[in-house]
Structure 1
C-alpha cells in the first residue's frame, strides 16, 4: 500500500498556485508526475502524493520543476481569485475521487492525442511546404535552362544568318549588289556540259570494285542447341566422357572373336535380342559389353529394360541408377537417354510399391519432356495411388 506524502507546502496568489512536494523513495530521479486541470499526482514508490484541486487550473500553461529533492508545481488559475484551500471538499470521498481520477486521466489522454495530432498536422504542412518549395526551385531551374538554350539557339541562328549575308555579299557570283538599290537580281544561267566533258568526268571516276567471295568457316557443334557460355563446362565434360567411353579396350580373352571384342557390336546384338523377346540373351550380351567397357550408360539402361521385362525390379533399379550416374552432366545430347532411364527406374519402383520414389523419377522425366502427355498421365495415376484415391 503506498505511503501518502503529507509534508508538502503551497502558496497562492490571485493568478497562480505554487505547490512544493518533497521527493521520497529509493529512486526519486524517476518519479512519475501527472497533472490535469483539477488533479496533480507524484508517484515515487512507495510514496504517493495526490490532490484534487479546489478549482480548475490551465494545465497547458502550468509547469512542474524538479530539483534539490523537491518538485514545484506552478499552476495557473483559470479564474483569478483566492482559494483559501488547496484541495477540493470531495478529497475524502473515495468514490468521487476515483471518478475524478478516471476523468482526469481520460481528459489527459485526450489532450495528449489532440496535441500529437496537431504536431502531425503541422509536420504534414511543413513537408507540403517543403515539397512545394522544392518543386518551385526545380521549375525555376528548368525555366532558367530553357532560357539559356533559347538564347544559344537565337545566337546560333543570328551567326548563321550573318554568315550567309557576308557570303552573298562577297563571294557568290550569282548575286549582284547595286549601291543605289537594296534589291538583288539573280542571274538564272543554266550550266550545260558537252559530251566530251561528260566523258572526261566519267574517265576520272574510279573503277568499280571486283566481286569476291568470302569463305566463312563455322565451328562444328555436336549438340543441337545453340552454344551458351554457362553450359560450356558441362558439354565439354560430357564429350570427354563420351570419348573416353568409346576407346576400345584391349582384352586378353582368346575365347572372344574380333566382333565380340567390340562392346558396341555387343550392344547392337543385345538390342536385336531384346526386339526378338529373348531378354536373357540380351542381358548376356550387355553383360559382356559392360565387362569390356563399363562407362557407357546405354549398356546399363538397356540391361535395366531387360530386367524390367523379366520382373527383376531391384536389378532394374540398380542398372538405371548406374546409367543416370553416367549420364551426367545433363546436356541436350543425353536428354532422351536420361528420360528413358528415369521412366524405367520409376516403373520398377512402382512395381516394388515404392510409389514416392517412382513419382520422383516420373517428375524428373517430365522436366526433361514437359509436353509428354503419357508421362503426365502416368505421374498423375501414381499421385492418386499415394493419396489413396485409387488402387
Structure 2
C-alpha cells in the first residue's frame, strides 16, 4: 500500500501554478512522473503523490524539474484567474479519481499514438523527398552522360563518313588505273605481229605469242558483302532448343509490356520499370538497401514480369536479413526464368545461391543444400559453390548425429 504524500506546497498567479513535492530521500532516478491537463501523479515507492487539479492547465507548456530533493511543477493555466485551491472539489470521490486516472492514461496513450503517426508521416515524406531529389540528381547525371555519348557518336559518325569518302576515292583511282592497264594490253594484242625480241630458229613455233594473245585481262578489285542472320541468343542455334528459346523470347516480350498506373505524383521516368530498376541498382551499390527496395517495389507495381527486379530485391532483403522475403523473391525470379535456356543460366544460378543462403540463415539446411546442388548443376566447376555445399552437408550430418 503506497504512502500518500500530503506535505506538498503550492502557489499561484493569474496565469500559472507552481507545485513543490518533496522526494523524502528517494533517488531522482527512481521517480516516475505522469501529468495531463487535469491530473498530476508522482510515484516514488513507497510514496505516491496524486491530485486532480481544480481547473485544467496547458500540459504542452508545463514543466517538471527534479533536484535538491524536490520535484517542482510549473504549470500554465488555460484560463487566467485565481483558483484559491489546488485540488478539485470532487477529489474525495474515489470513483471520480479512478475515472480521471483512466481518462488521463487513455489521453496520454492517444497523444503518444498520434505523435508516433505524425513522425511516421514526416519520415515517409522526408524519404519520398530524398528519393525524388536523388532521382533528379541521377537524371541530370544521366542526361550529361547521354550528351557526352551523343557528342562522341557524332564525332565517330563524321570520322566514319570521312573514311568512307577516302575509301571511295581510292577505289575509284584503282579502277581507273586498272582500266588503263587493260586498254594498253588490248592495244598490244590487236596490233600487227611485232618483231621478235629473240631470233627464232627455223621450224620453231611462236608459243610465247600464242600464250600472250590468249591471256585474260586482270580482274578489277571489289568487296564481297556477307549478311548474317540476326540472333538474340549468344550461343549457336540448336534445333532441340528452338521451342524453349521461342517461349523464353515470348515471356520477355510480355515482361516489356508496362502497366499504366494513373498516379499524378509520379513523373514519366518514375513510371518506367527499367529506369526504376537501374535506380535501385544505384542505391544498392551505394549501400542504401532500403531505398533500393522502395525503387524495386515500384518497378514491380509497374511490371511484375521482370525477373531481374525480383532477383535484385532478394539481394537487398538478404543484406537486410529479411530472409523470408528473400526466399519469396528468389522463387518468383526462378518462376519467371522458365524455360531454362543458356541465356538465363547465370540468372538462375544467382537465384539458387541467394535462396540457399537464406534457407541456411533460417537453419533450414536441407532446403539450402538443394538450392546449392541446383546451382552446382549450372556451374559444376565453381570452387566456392563446392566448398559451401560441403560445409552445409557437414552441418546437416552434425545435426543428425
TM-score range, shorter chain: 0.3 to 0.5
Tell me the TM-score normalized by structure 1: 0.48
Q: Which has the larger radius of gyration?
A: 1
